[in-house]
Each structure stands twice: as C-alpha cells, then as structure tokens.
Amino acid sequence: MTFISLAAGFVLLFFGGEIVVRGAVALAQRFGVSPLVIGLTIVGFGTSLPELLVSLNAALAGAPGIAVGNVVGSNIANTMLILGAAALVCPIVVSPDAVQRDGLAMVGVTAVFIIIAMGGSAEAHEGVFMVAVLALYVGVSLWRDMRADDAAAQLHREEAEELTGLPRRLWLMIAATLGGFAAVGFGAELLVGGATALAMSAGIPEEVIGLTLVAVGTSLPELATSMVAAYRGHSDVCLGNVIGSNIFNLFGILGITAIATPVPFAEKIVEFDLWVLAGVTVLLIPFLMSGWRLSRVEGSILIALYAVYVACQFWGMSGAYAAGQT
C-alpha cells in the first residue's frame, strides 16, 4: 500500500503540476499578460508548486525532515540531475547577461538560506523575511526586464513559449488550472504519507527520504519542462527554469512553510547536505562561464556527482542520520 501511495503521488504531482502551469499560462495569455511576466513568475515558480505543497503538508504533519529534505534535495537534483540530463540532450548555450543576474541571485539566496539553517530552525519572522526578499527580487527583475529588454528578458519570454498548447476556450483553461491544483494537492498528501510510512517501516531516516525520493518526485515538472525545451533546441530555457525554481524553493517554499509553522533543521542536514547544496551551486557558475555553455561532458559530470550523492545518502549517511537521532 505504501508503494501504491508513493506511485500515485508521483503521477498526480507530475501531471497536476504540468496542467496547472499550462492552464495558468493560457489564462494569463488570454487576459493579455506579457510573456515576460509569465516566464518570470508563473513558469519559473509554478513548476515548484509540488515542492511547496509537499513541504507544507510534511511540516504541518510533523515530518520536518521531509519538508527540509525536499527543499534542499530538490535544489541539488535541479542543479545536477535536471541540468545534467538536459545538457546531454542538447548542450546549454546561454547569454552572459541572462546568467550573471539570476545566477548570482541564486548564489546569494543559497548563502542566506544556509546562514538561516545554521541557526537550527526557520522561524516565522525569518519566513516573512524570505518571502519579502523573494517578492522584491521578482519586482526588481520585472522592472529591469521591461526597461532593458535584454537577454534575461528574452529568456523569460522563451520560458513562457515552452508551456503552451491548451485549448483557447476560457472554461477549459479554468478547469485545467483548478483540476491541476486539486491533483497536486492530493498527490502531495499521498506522497508525504507514503514517504513517511516507508521511512518508518524500512528504518530509513525521513531526512534521507526527503532528500532523495521525495525531492526527485517533486522535481518532475522541472525535469519534464527542461527535457522538452532541450529537445526543441531551447536549452537556455532549461537554465532559466532551474534557476527560478531554485530561488523559489529556498525563499518561497521554506519561507511560506516557516510562516505556517517553525521548521527545524536536522543536525546532519546542516553538517552535510547544506554544504553539498553550496558546493554544487558554486560549481555551476564556472561550468557556465567556461565558454558560456554547459557541455555534454559537464552534464555527465553533474549526473555522476548526483549518483554519488544519492549513494552516500543510502550507503553511508543513513547510518549517520540514525546515530544522530539516538
């Protein structure tokens, strides 16, 4: 029953996340919202909806390890697994302007997130701070893009173009959006319930489940969007999607969750996984600056590093987590 719950949760999160983002994009286009705004907000952050609902449900259900592990693990998976897989399909060629602004913002957000985590927990006032900074970042980015119309603005427009295809009838757009939200919400409950049961029955710490199984499951919308974009030759959209998702995961998801309930950080996440997150975030910048592209070789390196990280969780870190909780 546990595996059925996990599988059903994954399926609902994947298809629900895709449908709700496409429905929201179609509605925005119907009411004249510019592709720039759609790309920066709905697409960049909408694909993180599964992570938001899973982390919020897990924290409220008394499983903070899954909540925090989902956020940290999703960013690690986005950076290594998703970007690596997309680069294998098509090398990611990006504009320096598009990377320098949002890429450096991602590094800064990651650094602040680690500082907060080092305090042992994220409280309500810290959650308010994170959400406020995120709103400021979005507002400033929109203002600059509309004034400059530079490579970053073009990237956000291309992100919106990747998520079209719904019928143009208004009622179908609304139905798709609402149905997607319902699917994601129900899928989040199934996934958290199944993951918690699996952790308890198998003796695996919930942090490990959150960092790996749950994190990959909630990252499926980003994976689908990035792979389709790479296949169509719009590989730069993959990078914009991942950067936007990573920023929202850290400040949006954890910020909203912390406002709802205090979120403690497990000692072993602070000692190990946060530094893996910091390392891969910093590593991505020189990878992108080497010719302003992410090659297939670099993509293979990222995937190999992710495989090592997952292996550490189950072969080495699992025992360490268990020892740390006794």
H helix or E strand, kind and range, residue 97: helix 96-118
How far apart (Å, rounded) are the C-alpha atoms in residues 238 and 285? 15
Least confident of 138-142, 157-161, 284-288: 157-161
Instruction: Return the pLDDT at 74.
Output: 92
Contact at 8 Å (CB) between 194 and 9? yes
- Give the DSSP letter of residue 221: H
Tokens 């697994």 appear where?
81
What average pLDDT does this structure show over 134-154?
Answer: 75
**How many Å apart are CA 110 and CA 251, to the nearest integer?**
9
Contact 122, 262 (CB under 8 A): yes
pLDDT at residue 134, as a whole number: 93
CA-to-CA dists, residue 245 to 226, 252, 272, angstroms: 12, 9, 22
Q: Tell me how far apart the alpha carbons of residues 227 and 250 are, in angstroms, rounded to a whole number.
A: 23
Confidence check: pLDDT of 323 > 50: no
Give yes or no for a contact between 180 and 20, defined as CB atoms under 8 angstroms apart: yes
Residue 318 has pLDDT above 50, yes or no: no
pLDDT over 70, % of the chain: 78
What's residue 324's pLDDT? Answer: 47
Q: Which residue has the higher pLDDT, 312 or 16?
A: 312
Is 265 or 12 the better-scoring residue by pLDDT? 265
Q: Is the dihedral of CA 248, 251, 253, 256 positive or negative?
A: negative
Q: Across 136-236, where does the E strand assignment appear?
A: none
The more confidently predicted of residues 17 and 159 is 17
Neighbours of 286 (CB within 10 A): 9
pLDDT, tens digit, 9 for 90 and up, residues 227-268: 777 777 766 667 777 888 899 999 999 999 999 999 999 988
Residue 80: pLDDT band (50, 70, 90) is very high
Rounded Cα–Cα distance for residues 261 and 100 (Å): 34
Q: pLDDT by residue (tens digit) across 30-55? A: 766 655 566 566 666 667 778 888 89
221: phi then psi, degrees, rounded to nearest 5: -60, -40
Contact 241, 298 (CB under 8 A): no
Q: Which residues contact 17 (CB under 8 A, 6 or more apart)?
A: 46, 47, 49, 50, 180, 184, 220, 221
Check pLDDT > 60 for residue 118.
yes
pLDDT reported for residue 9: 81
Mean pLDDT is highest, among 104-108, 219-223, 317-321, for 104-108
Q: Which domains does the chain have, with CATH numbers?
A: 2-324 (1.20.1420.30)
Please give the pLDDT value at position 170.
76
H or E segment and range at residue 92 = strand 92-93
Q: Alpha helix (H) ranges present in 31-123? A: 35-37, 44-46, 49-60, 64-77, 83-89, 96-118
